[in-house]
Amino acid sequence: MTKSHQSLNNPGMSHSLNTIQQILSAKDKKPLSIRTLGSFEVSLDHLIVERKSWGRDKSIQLIQFLLTNFHRSALHKEKIIDRIWEELGTDNDFKVALHGVNKVLNPNKKTRNDSRFILRQGQTYQLDMANIWLDTFAFQELIKLGNQCKADESSIAVEAYRQAINLYGGTYLPERIYEDWSSAERERLQLLAMNAHISLAQHIENDNPDEVIRLMEKALSIDPLWEDAYRLKMSAFMKNGNRPQAILTYQKCEDILMEELGVKPLPQTKNLFTQIVR
């Protein structure tokens, strides 16, 4: 039976495939699309907004802060100022930054008209996500779908995880790595990315050890202290009959854990190494 026939005979699988496609195709259907993973890129009506168009960096900081908090309720202006610019921020800074954002995202906006992408109620502000495609939202939705399908629809889970990993272009807002307001979101997304790599590798480890090795190398470039990745990589090398590389992988794990944390590998990692050398 072909894959298409399997989907036709399994309404749940067909629905899940459609969900993946909807998440990915939404980017072409919304007027504003924003990439934050690995780099910051904004496209308005399918045209990339040049960096110089934003003018002051404060305008970029404001839109990035609102993106970081898109899943929360509207935030008061004073709280936004305090979180972004701390004691150095003023009401005028906010006005100038907001004007810069509106100038870029609403070039034809009249002074008293509502913003196309920012919802305002009194002194509170938030993004109108109904009109915005955001890579971190799509990334999370794909992982969520993969987690829901991994028990009963393995092929769907594999595809969802693969698409999520493709979206993870790197560190969240890398130009803001020293900003306190972005650190929690960055760490949360990094953890999701690591778990997506591990989950995908676990699903395909018996069929495609070469891809598992590639995935784990990518995962360890995100977090070189993740022991699950070392174990999966060791097992994949053994499935390929490459015991020397499996041993070297363990030694690398042992060295970096001792160097960075002053600890030895977990018992399950040591046990796997013992099986390999025997």
How confident is the model at residue 109, as a pLDDT?
A: 64
Kindly state whether residue 250 falls inside one of the protein's structural domains.
yes
Count Cβ atoms within 10 A of the Cβ of residue 174 and give its class: 0-12 exposed, 13-18 middle, 19 or more buried. middle
Kindly state whether residue 151 falls inside one of the protein's structural domains.
no
Length of the chain: 278
How confident is the model at residue 86, as a pLDDT?
A: 85
> Do the Cβ atoms of 190 and 38 come closer than 8 Å?
no
Q: In what order do the strands lie in the sheet with 32-35?
A: 47-48, 41-44, 32-35, 132-134
Domain count, the chain: 2
Q: Last residue of some domain: 133, 159, 190? A: 133
CA-based nearest residue to 168, from 224, 215, 233, 227: 215
Mean pLDDT by 10 residues, the chain (278 residues): 45 77 92 96 94 92 95 90 89 93 82 76 92 96 95 92 96 95 96 97 96 97 96 97 97 97 97 94
CA-based nearest residue to 119, from 141, 138, 139, 101: 101
What span, in angstroms and rounded, lies between the C-alpha atoms of 218 and 168? 11
pTM of whole model > 0.85? yes
How confident is the model at residue 101, as a pLDDT?
A: 93
Specify the CATH number for the domain of residue 115: 1.10.10.10
Domain with 227, as residue range(s), is: 209-278
CA-based nearest residue to 117, from 138, 107, 102: 102
Kindly state whether residue 55 falls inside one of the protein's structural domains.
yes
List the structure tokens of 201. 């590798």
